[in-house]
């Protein structure tokens, strides 16, 4: 780094080694840009490694958030092509119980069709052929192209590809301060494994729920409203598809299959500090109870593990929409509009849409740097996509194991 004799300055510094930051680094590296990524912890140590791991079809958001739903189905299709062992094509079912609103089911199906999310309505007996333990009072079922995503593998694959194209990746290198001079970020002080100062041409703030704190170091305001959620993994062997409750989004709506476990969740409660928040028992209990309404056997299944995460939601959007109906679309905030010419923050979105967030961010960066190169990330298979063992080795090297897929990583034959 700049205060070392053998250092060199990166053209672009990406802050945050979650899916968004690493995805942006991959995209920029493929376009020939010299990029360095730093994370204060291991890769995947933020929200990406702590998600529910659902590869959204977009059906969950279709009737309330058309934009978020359209982004999900587009990226769902791309990830099926490029992400290999980082995803599992399980399919998903939306399940309406006797007490759930039949009109809502019809509305969701119509909204899915309008957005271009394919659905197939099944009678409950046919659905039971796929999931024999479905609750007795299931009345309506719709098949959608949901899947499962293993975030540690996804991020490792992006990191390997970024590295293969010249990117430098520094886990355990927190940004400690940012200096702005004459309307530009002139220096970024890094601690931990780097312990030095860099002077990049351009800075990408992909710090997720912490994006507000990072922006504040540069005197910028990025108002975040993180919400916490819990995941509870219980013993349950061989659930085929993802199960979603077909009702207005609420707590405990989703069961994600993971080999001999299923992951139950989740909740959504605003938090003030993404590093210090309450972990309330009612959220664990509600997640189990509500998921058991669809799949009764999970009510008494032994709990294997439990973890929490915080959604990187953008507060102005949250305030506009309120509650659970907030957009799962993303926001690219060009700080030139705030008087800092060489910085952008990218917030919101989903793990499912990380590649699109990265592409949009890289487009802006390239435009500012005068780099004339198109995004290639939707067409090129990720490095190691067909080699889970290689991905799992990379997870170790980048200290990139999150709790979501700890049961899966390392089990490749």
Ligand X SMILES: Cc1cc2nc3c(=O)[nH]c(=O)nc-3n(C[C@H](O)[C@H](O)[C@H](O)COP(=O)(O)OP(=O)(O)OC[C@H]3O[C@@H](n4cnc5c(N)ncnc54)[C@H](O)[C@@H]3O)c2cc1C
Choose between 56 and 153: whose C-beta lies nearer to ligand X.
Answer: 56
Residue 127 in contact with residue 86, Cβ under 8 Å? no
Minimum gap (Å) between residue 42 Cβ and ligand X: 8
Residue 220 in contact with residue 31, Cβ under 8 Å? no
Choose between 141 and 346: whose C-beta lies nearer to ligand X.
Answer: 346
Question: Does 16 contact ligand X by CB under 6 A?
Answer: yes
Choose between 281 and 413: whose C-beta lies nearer to ligand X.
Answer: 281
d(CA 397, CA 411): 17
Choose between 137 and 273: whose C-beta lies nearer to ligand X.
Answer: 273
d(CA 393, CA 305): 23
Question: Using CB under 6 A, which of 37, 38, 131, 262 touches ligand X?
Answer: 38
Question: Does 47 contact ligand X by CB under 6 A?
Answer: yes
Q: Please, which residues bridge with residue 14 across strands?
A: 37, 204
Question: Using CB under 6 A, which of 12, 70, 135, 175 touches ligand X?
Answer: 175
Angle of helix 66-82 relative to helix 102-115, nearest 10 degrees, comes to 60
Secondary-structure breakdown of the chain: helix, strand, coil percentages, each rounded to the nearest 5: 35, 25, 40
Stretch touching ligand X by CB under 6 A, among 13-21, 133-141, 160-168, 387-395: 13-21
Half-sphere exposure of residue 371, counting CA atoms within 13 Å on the CB side? 22
**If binding means CB under 6 A, how many residues of this protein chain bind ligand X?**
38
Phi then psi dihedrals of residue 99, to 5 deg = -85, -5
Minimum gap (Å) between residue 356 Cβ and ligand X: 11
Question: Does 208 contact ligand X by CB under 6 A?
Answer: yes
From residue 61, give the alpha-carbon distance in Å to each of 57, 143, 248: 9, 15, 10
SS3 state at 172: coil
Minimum gap (Å) between residue 23 Cβ and ligand X: 8
Residue 300 in contact with residue 226, Cβ under 8 Å? no
Minimum gap (Å) between residue 254 Cβ and ligand X: 7
From residue 205, give the alpha-carbon distance in Å to each of 180, 182, 397: 14, 19, 24
Stretch touching ligand X by CB under 6 A, among 11-19, 116-124, 136-144, 287-295: 11-19
Stretch touching ligand X by CB under 6 A, among 76-84, 95-103, 319-327, 343-351: 343-351
Question: Does 45 contact ligand X by CB under 6 A?
Answer: yes
**One character per residue 264-303, x = contact with ligand X (rule: CB under 6 A):** --x-------------------------------------
Residue 4 in contact with residue 11, Cβ under 8 Å? no
Stretch touching ligand X by CB under 6 A, among 53-61, 92-100, 234-242, 292-300: 53-61
Choose between 77 and 110: whose C-beta lies nearer to ligand X.
Answer: 77
d(CA 209, CA 225): 8
Contact positions vs ligand X (CB under 6 A): 15-21, 38-41, 45-48, 51-54, 56, 174-175, 206-210, 214, 229, 266, 309-312, 349-352
């Amino acid at each position: 780094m700049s205060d070392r004799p053998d250092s060199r300055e990166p053209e672009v510094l990406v802050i945050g080694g979650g899916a968004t930051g690493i995805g942006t680094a991959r995209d920029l590296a493929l376009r020939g840009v010299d990029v360095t990524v730093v994370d204060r912890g291991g890769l995947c140590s933020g929200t990406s490694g702590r998600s529910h791991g659902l590869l959204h079809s977009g059906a969950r958001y279709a009737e309330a958030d058309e934009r978020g739903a359209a982004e999900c189905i587009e990226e769902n299709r791309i990830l099926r092509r490029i992400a290999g062992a980082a995803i599992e094509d399980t399919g998903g079912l939306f399940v309406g119980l006797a007490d759930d609103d039949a009109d809502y089911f019809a509305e969701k199906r119509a909204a899915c069709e309008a957005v271009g999310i394919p659905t197939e309505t099944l009678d409950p007996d046919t659905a039971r052929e796929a999931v024999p333990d479905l609750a007795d009072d299931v009345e309506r079922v719709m098949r959608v192209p949901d899947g499962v995503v293993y975030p540690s593998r996804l991020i490792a694959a992006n990191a390997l590809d970024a590295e293969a194209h010249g990117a430098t990746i520094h886990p355990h290198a927190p940004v400690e301060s940012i200096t702005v001079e004459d309307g530009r970020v002139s220096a970024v002080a890094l601690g931990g494994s780097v312990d030095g100062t860099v002077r990049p041409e351009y800075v990408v703030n992909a710090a997720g729920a912490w994006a507000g704190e990072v922006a504040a170091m540069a005197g910028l305001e990025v108002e975040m409203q993180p919400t916490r959620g819990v995941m509870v993994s219980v013993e349950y062997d061989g659930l085929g598809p993802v199960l979603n409750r077909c009702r207005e989004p609420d707590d405990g709506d989703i069961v994600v299959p993971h080999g001999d476990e299923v992951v139950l969740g989740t909740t959504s409660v605003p938090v003030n500090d993404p590093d210090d928040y309450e972990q309330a028992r009612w959220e664990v209990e509600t997640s189990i109870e509500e998921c058991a309404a669809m799949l009764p056997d999970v009510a008494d299944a032994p709990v294997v593990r439990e973890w929490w995460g915080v959604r990187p939601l953008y507060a102005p959007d949250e305030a506009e929409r309120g509650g659970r109906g907030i957009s799962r679309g993303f926001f690219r905030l060009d700080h030139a509009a705030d008087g800092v010419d060489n910085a952008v923050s990218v917030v919101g979105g989903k793990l499912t849409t990380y590649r699109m967030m990265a592409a949009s961010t890289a487009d802006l960066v390239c435009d500012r740097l005068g780099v004339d190169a198109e995004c290639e990330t939707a067409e090129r298979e990720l490095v190691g996509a067909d080699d889970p063992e290689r991905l799992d080795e990379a997870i170790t090297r980048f200290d990139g194991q999150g709790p979501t897929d700890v049961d899966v990583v390392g089990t490749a034959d």
